[in-house]
Structure 1
Amino acid sequence: MENLLSIIAVVFYFAATCMIVPGLVHSSGIRIKLVFTLAILAISTHGWLISDLIINPNGQNLSILNVASLIGFIICLVLSISMWKTRLWFLLPVVYSFSAINLAAANFLPSTFMTHFEGRIELLIHISIALFAYSTLMIGALYALQLAWLDHQLKSKKSIIINPNLPPLMMVERHLFKIILIGTLLLTATLVTGAIYVDGMFAPPNAHKAVLSFVAWALYCILLWGHYQQGWRGRKVLWLSISGATLLTLAYFGSRFVREIILH
């Protein structure tokens, strides 16, 4: 049953992607209602399956593949809802493909990392905030890449910039900094709740996570200060966004990838 659900979700994700790509390539109209319907079917199936993969009679299986799939689910849900208000056609094929691959990996390459939240509601709150912080800042990194790509197309005077399916440059920039601000606030809450509720946050097994997360937080704070106080735009914003996202990825997944995927 889980294998079938996984295949169904992957098919819906790629069907939604196939409805978007021609509009980006040929500047043709994109059928938003059909894309949204396919996306919701994929996301609903994804959510059902990932809940079965994580919720276990013996605890909660937060393996690296399950967590990555859960993050993909959150990102897809947020961006799919947002497609009605802004033109996200450049980003959606990326996140849909990422989620489809991640979900298939989580289902067909199972791994185990059992945790127990029973009676530890504060730890559940900390992890939930961390997931939303990471997902939000990953969306910010995608927006930064889109902004850089649109800026490059504009400067090189490529004809693709008149594609009606692509958003205006300034709108993307406004959304980018709102997303990074929200993500930074969530990351701040993650670090605060981690320092209060996580035992041994700075102990050797967890020290790299704390250090990398704090460095990423500092980079995002510098980025926001530079933009709002110094008017930073362009490459500085791109590199700081990507650097912060990379550090968070290493903090969240680095050591667990080695333990769960390579060594196991």
Structure 2
Amino acid sequence: MSIVLIAAALYLLAAWLVMRRLLADGGAGAGFWLLTAVSAVALHGLFHYLRWRHGGGLDLHFFAALSLVGLGMATLTSAYAATGRLGALGVLVYPIAAAALTGYAFAGNHVARDLDWRLELHAWLALLAYATLAIAALLAIMLWLQERALRRHEFRGWVRVLPPLTELETLLFRTIAVGFVLLTATLLTGALFVEDFFAQRLSHKTVLSLMSWLVFGALLFGRWRYGWRGTKAVRWTLTAMALLVLAFFGSKFVYELVLRRG
């Protein structure tokens, strides 16, 4: 448990250091805060590894999956920061990762699954897709807030610490494109490797995931063909992400925490 507390403290420290640097000079390039964040990510991953080794398999229950998505988001945020792009994301992402890890640690142990490698591949692709598209959703919210502030001529405060609007928009669509590829791979491996993929318990999850995939795909097509941007891009991104959250975490919440069937 000490690993969890240290990791959570490092996440929060990294978020605070990012905020302080943003307020000081308007930028959050790689620095000591990034080393702090990477240390938190490493401890976060280590905790999952120790849990899996102790349990004899992969734990994908609600809080475990939520923590893994938080880990993926923190990893992607640190990778963005290491390349000098949008370290400001850490102000939002690192506290989310800390909360998800803490929730998993205090939720208790669950029965782990010794999955076939094909099912593990499907699971890891799903988690990577959710983490990547969750980052895209946060970028979309930041883009919306920035556009709203600029329309109101509010050029002070947090608006100054964000990258230019065009750069933020480009990063959003690149992130969506990567997440779309991962989501496509998730659906394909699910159709190929998961038995009874369209069974009753999985039917709503499958339908909602396909709907999310279609919305993301339509958004990328609209961007390529019609130059969609701004508010329209934000709405489509958040709609698709909401469907994806309902597909995975919504179903897990109902089955595992409400109905106790997990």
Distance 2:236 2:127 in 1: 20
Distance 2:89 2:67 in 1: 17
Moved more, 58-67 or 229-238: 58-67
Counterparts of residues 223-238 of structure 1 (less than 5 Å): 223-238=219-234
Stretches of structure 1 that go unaligned for 5 or more consecutive residues are: none
Counterparts of residues 1-264 of structure 1 (less than 5 Å): 3-25=1-23, 27=25, 30=28, 32-117=30-115, 120-160=116-156, 165-264=161-260
Moved more, 153-162 or 227-236: 153-162
Moved more, 189-198 or 252-261: 252-261
Counterpart of 1:227, as a letter, is: R
Question: 3-state SS of the aligned residue for 2:82?
Answer: coil
Change (3 A) 1:30 1:226: closer
Distance 2:150 2:24 in 1: 18
Query: Structure 1 vs Structure 2: percent identity of aligned residues?
Result: 32
Q: TM-score, normalised by structure 2?
A: 0.92
Contact between 1:53 and 1:66, CA under 8 Å: does it hold in 2? Answer: no
CA offset at residue 263 of structure 1? Answer: 3.9
**Which 4+ runs in 1 deviate beyond 6 A?**
none
Stretches of structure 2 that go unaligned for 5 or more consecutive residues are: none
CA offset at residue 18 of structure 1? Answer: 1.1
Distance 1:188 1:81 in 2: 23
Q: TM-score, normalised by structure 1?
A: 0.91
CA offset at residue 207 of structure 1? Answer: 0.3
Counterpart of 1:260, as a letter, is: E
Contact between 1:23 and 1:165, CA under 8 Å: does it hold in 2? Answer: no
Change (3 A) 1:19 1:232: same
Number of equivalent positions: 260
Q: State the Cα RMSD in Å.
A: 2.0
Counterpart of 2:47, as a letter, is: L
> Residue deviations 1:28-73, cap 9 Å, x none?
5657411111101111111111222234444322111111111111
